[in-house]
Amino acid sequence: MTSHAKPLPSYLVQRYHGWKATTWEENKAWYKRLAMGGQHPRAMVISCCDSRVHVTSIFGADQGEFFIHRNIANLVPPHNPDGEHHGTSAALEYGVTALKVAHLVVMGHSGCGGARGCHDMCCGHAPQLEDRASYVGRWMDILRPGYERIKDIADEAERVTALEKQAVVVSLENLMTFPFVRTAVEAGELSLHGLWNDIGDGGLQQYDGASGTFVPL
Ligand SMILES: [Zn+2]
Protein backbone atom coordinates (compact mmCIF):
# COMPACT_ATOMS: atom_id res chain seq x y z
CA MET A 1 0.00 0.00 0.00
CA THR A 2 1.12 3.52 -0.70
CA SER A 3 -0.90 6.41 0.62
CA HIS A 4 0.74 8.92 -1.72
CA ALA A 5 -1.30 8.05 -4.80
CA LYS A 6 -4.20 10.45 -5.42
CA PRO A 7 -7.17 10.34 -7.81
CA LEU A 8 -6.56 11.79 -11.27
CA PRO A 9 -7.33 15.49 -11.77
CA SER A 10 -10.79 15.94 -13.27
CA TYR A 11 -9.59 17.35 -16.61
CA LEU A 12 -7.82 14.05 -17.30
CA VAL A 13 -10.82 12.00 -16.17
CA GLN A 14 -13.04 13.99 -18.53
CA ARG A 15 -10.66 13.55 -21.43
CA TYR A 16 -10.48 9.84 -20.77
CA HIS A 17 -14.26 9.48 -20.84
CA GLY A 18 -14.36 11.48 -24.05
CA TRP A 19 -11.83 9.15 -25.67
CA LYS A 20 -13.66 6.04 -24.45
CA ALA A 21 -16.98 7.28 -25.84
CA THR A 22 -15.60 8.24 -29.26
CA THR A 23 -12.23 6.89 -30.43
CA TRP A 24 -12.48 3.63 -28.52
CA GLU A 25 -16.19 3.13 -29.16
CA GLU A 26 -15.78 3.62 -32.90
CA ASN A 27 -12.81 1.27 -33.12
CA LYS A 28 -13.51 -1.28 -30.42
CA ALA A 29 -13.19 -4.28 -32.71
CA TRP A 30 -9.71 -3.09 -33.60
CA TYR A 31 -8.77 -2.61 -29.94
CA LYS A 32 -10.05 -6.12 -29.13
CA ARG A 33 -7.96 -7.52 -31.96
CA LEU A 34 -4.89 -5.70 -30.66
CA ALA A 35 -5.54 -7.10 -27.21
CA MET A 36 -6.03 -10.68 -28.46
CA GLY A 37 -3.22 -10.75 -30.98
CA GLY A 38 -0.49 -9.11 -28.92
CA GLN A 39 1.82 -6.47 -30.33
CA HIS A 40 3.74 -6.85 -33.58
CA PRO A 41 5.27 -3.42 -34.14
CA ARG A 42 7.40 -3.06 -37.24
CA ALA A 43 9.53 -0.28 -35.79
CA MET A 44 11.06 0.78 -32.51
CA VAL A 45 11.60 4.47 -31.81
CA ILE A 46 13.90 6.01 -29.23
CA SER A 47 13.01 9.65 -28.72
CA CYS A 48 13.31 12.34 -26.05
CA CYS A 49 10.92 12.73 -23.10
CA ASP A 50 10.28 16.31 -24.28
CA SER A 51 6.51 16.86 -24.43
CA ARG A 52 6.78 18.54 -27.84
CA VAL A 53 8.27 15.50 -29.53
CA HIS A 54 5.29 13.64 -30.98
CA VAL A 55 6.54 10.76 -33.05
CA THR A 56 3.16 9.03 -33.44
CA SER A 57 1.65 12.25 -34.74
CA ILE A 58 4.49 12.95 -37.21
CA PHE A 59 4.15 9.50 -38.76
CA GLY A 60 0.39 9.13 -38.30
CA ALA A 61 1.02 5.97 -36.29
CA ASP A 62 -1.77 4.03 -34.61
CA GLN A 63 -1.74 1.80 -31.57
CA GLY A 64 0.41 -1.25 -32.17
CA GLU A 65 2.67 0.30 -34.81
CA PHE A 66 5.61 1.71 -32.85
CA PHE A 67 7.43 0.30 -29.86
CA ILE A 68 8.54 3.57 -28.26
CA HIS A 69 11.12 4.26 -25.61
CA ARG A 70 11.64 7.82 -24.44
CA ASN A 71 14.42 9.14 -22.27
CA ILE A 72 16.30 12.39 -21.68
CA ALA A 73 17.92 13.43 -24.99
CA ASN A 74 17.07 10.16 -26.79
CA LEU A 75 20.33 8.53 -25.75
CA VAL A 76 21.42 4.92 -26.00
CA PRO A 77 24.19 4.08 -23.54
CA PRO A 78 26.94 1.64 -24.50
CA HIS A 79 26.39 -2.08 -23.86
CA ASN A 80 27.24 -2.64 -20.19
CA PRO A 81 25.88 -5.90 -18.74
CA ASP A 82 26.80 -5.17 -15.11
CA GLY A 83 23.63 -6.48 -13.45
CA GLU A 84 22.33 -2.97 -12.62
CA HIS A 85 19.12 -1.18 -13.68
CA HIS A 86 19.25 -0.19 -17.35
CA GLY A 87 15.85 0.95 -18.64
CA THR A 88 16.94 1.92 -22.14
CA SER A 89 19.00 -1.24 -22.66
CA ALA A 90 16.08 -3.35 -21.39
CA ALA A 91 13.68 -1.71 -23.88
CA LEU A 92 16.24 -2.26 -26.63
CA GLU A 93 16.74 -5.90 -25.73
CA TYR A 94 12.98 -6.51 -25.71
CA GLY A 95 12.35 -4.62 -28.94
CA VAL A 96 15.12 -6.34 -30.88
CA THR A 97 15.18 -9.86 -29.46
CA ALA A 98 11.54 -10.47 -28.45
CA LEU A 99 9.53 -8.23 -30.81
CA LYS A 100 12.12 -8.48 -33.60
CA VAL A 101 11.40 -5.00 -34.96
CA ALA A 102 12.67 -4.43 -38.49
CA HIS A 103 13.53 -0.75 -38.01
CA LEU A 104 15.07 1.13 -35.11
CA VAL A 105 14.77 4.90 -35.26
CA VAL A 106 16.63 7.30 -32.96
CA MET A 107 14.99 10.72 -33.11
CA GLY A 108 16.57 13.88 -31.72
CA HIS A 109 14.98 17.33 -31.73
CA SER A 110 15.53 21.08 -31.63
CA GLY A 111 15.58 22.90 -28.29
CA CYS A 112 16.52 19.73 -26.40
CA GLY A 113 16.98 20.57 -22.72
CA GLY A 114 19.08 17.45 -22.20
CA ALA A 115 21.53 18.34 -24.95
CA ARG A 116 21.64 21.94 -23.65
CA GLY A 117 22.41 20.62 -20.16
CA CYS A 118 25.20 18.43 -21.51
CA HIS A 119 26.60 21.40 -23.42
CA ASP A 120 26.57 23.63 -20.33
CA MET A 121 28.05 20.90 -18.13
CA CYS A 122 30.86 20.21 -20.58
CA CYS A 123 31.82 23.89 -20.82
CA GLY A 124 31.75 24.33 -17.04
CA HIS A 125 28.51 26.30 -16.71
CA ALA A 126 26.39 23.69 -14.95
CA PRO A 127 28.22 22.48 -11.82
CA GLN A 128 24.98 20.96 -10.46
CA LEU A 129 25.05 18.47 -13.33
CA GLU A 130 28.60 17.45 -12.46
CA ASP A 131 27.43 16.26 -9.04
CA ARG A 132 27.78 12.50 -8.80
CA ALA A 133 24.23 12.33 -7.41
CA SER A 134 22.68 14.07 -10.47
CA TYR A 135 20.77 11.46 -12.46
CA VAL A 136 20.51 13.83 -15.42
CA GLY A 137 24.19 14.74 -15.26
CA ARG A 138 25.36 11.13 -15.18
CA TRP A 139 22.92 10.25 -17.98
CA MET A 140 24.31 13.11 -20.06
CA ASP A 141 27.82 11.69 -19.63
CA ILE A 142 26.79 9.37 -22.48
CA LEU A 143 26.88 12.41 -24.78
CA ARG A 144 30.32 13.71 -23.73
CA PRO A 145 32.08 12.05 -26.72
CA GLY A 146 29.62 13.94 -28.96
CA TYR A 147 30.49 17.24 -27.28
CA GLU A 148 34.19 16.65 -27.98
CA ARG A 149 33.39 16.51 -31.70
CA ILE A 150 31.44 19.77 -31.87
CA LYS A 151 33.05 21.93 -29.17
CA ASP A 152 35.01 24.07 -31.65
CA ILE A 153 31.92 25.39 -33.45
CA ALA A 154 32.09 29.13 -32.69
CA ASP A 155 28.39 30.04 -32.65
CA GLU A 156 26.68 28.79 -29.49
CA ALA A 157 23.26 28.11 -31.05
CA GLU A 158 24.88 26.15 -33.89
CA ARG A 159 27.00 24.26 -31.37
CA VAL A 160 23.97 23.20 -29.32
CA THR A 161 22.08 22.10 -32.45
CA ALA A 162 25.13 20.11 -33.51
CA LEU A 163 25.15 18.47 -30.07
CA GLU A 164 21.45 17.54 -30.43
CA LYS A 165 22.40 15.77 -33.65
CA GLN A 166 25.36 14.14 -31.91
CA ALA A 167 22.88 12.66 -29.43
CA VAL A 168 21.54 10.73 -32.42
CA VAL A 169 24.96 9.83 -33.84
CA VAL A 170 26.43 8.69 -30.50
CA SER A 171 23.31 6.59 -29.91
CA LEU A 172 23.60 4.97 -33.35
CA GLU A 173 27.24 4.15 -32.53
CA ASN A 174 26.37 2.77 -29.10
CA LEU A 175 23.57 0.65 -30.55
CA MET A 176 26.15 -1.40 -32.42
CA THR A 177 27.96 -2.24 -29.12
CA PHE A 178 24.97 -4.45 -28.16
CA PRO A 179 25.70 -7.94 -29.52
CA PHE A 180 22.02 -8.63 -30.30
CA VAL A 181 21.75 -5.37 -32.28
CA ARG A 182 24.97 -5.99 -34.20
CA THR A 183 23.91 -9.56 -35.02
CA ALA A 184 20.48 -8.45 -36.28
CA VAL A 185 21.95 -5.60 -38.34
CA GLU A 186 24.61 -7.82 -39.89
CA ALA A 187 21.99 -10.46 -40.71
CA GLY A 188 19.93 -7.82 -42.55
CA GLU A 189 17.03 -8.26 -40.13
CA LEU A 190 17.28 -4.82 -38.53
CA SER A 191 18.06 -1.40 -39.95
CA LEU A 192 19.09 1.62 -37.88
CA HIS A 193 17.92 5.15 -38.68
CA GLY A 194 18.77 8.57 -37.26
CA LEU A 195 16.45 11.59 -37.38
CA TRP A 196 16.42 15.12 -36.01
CA ASN A 197 13.13 16.99 -35.75
CA ASP A 198 12.90 20.79 -35.89
CA ILE A 199 9.95 21.44 -33.60
CA GLY A 200 9.25 24.98 -34.83
CA ASP A 201 9.22 24.47 -38.59
CA GLY A 202 8.18 20.83 -38.63
CA GLY A 203 11.36 19.84 -40.44
CA LEU A 204 12.77 16.33 -40.29
CA GLN A 205 16.40 15.62 -41.12
CA GLN A 206 17.80 12.17 -41.71
CA TYR A 207 21.31 11.06 -40.79
CA ASP A 208 23.27 9.95 -43.83
CA GLY A 209 25.83 7.44 -42.64
CA ALA A 210 27.94 7.75 -45.81
CA SER A 211 28.54 11.51 -45.51
CA GLY A 212 28.09 11.80 -41.74
CA THR A 213 25.61 14.65 -42.21
CA PHE A 214 21.91 15.27 -41.61
CA VAL A 215 19.87 15.75 -44.78
CA PRO A 216 16.31 17.22 -44.90
CA LEU A 217 13.59 14.75 -45.86
ZN1 LIG B 1 15.07 16.57 -25.63
Q: Kindly report, residue by residue over 34-48, the tens digit of the pLDDT.
A: 999 999 999 999 999
- Report whether 107 contacts 168 (CB < 8 A): yes
**Model pTM score:** 0.96
How many angstroms is it from 205 CA to the middle of ligand 1? 16
How many angstroms is it from 28 CA to the middle of ligand 1? 34
How many angstroms is it from 74 CA to the middle of ligand 1? 7
Residue 72 CA to residue 114 CA, distance in Å, equals 6
In this predicted structure, the answer to whether residue 195 has a pLDDT above a threshold of 90 is yes
| DSSP label at residue 82 | S
How many angstroms is it from 108 CA to the middle of ligand 1? 7
How many angstroms is it from 164 CA to the middle of ligand 1? 8
Average pLDDT of the chain?
97
How many angstroms is it from 24 CA to the middle of ligand 1? 31
Classify residue 36 by burial, with Cβ atoms within 10 Å: 0-12, 13-18, 19+. Answer: exposed
- CA torsion, ordered 171, 153, 204, 193, to nearest 10 deg: -20
In this predicted structure, the answer to whether residue 1 has a pLDDT above a threshold of 80 is no
How many angstroms is it from 115 CA to the middle of ligand 1? 7
CB atoms within 10 A of CB 110: 19
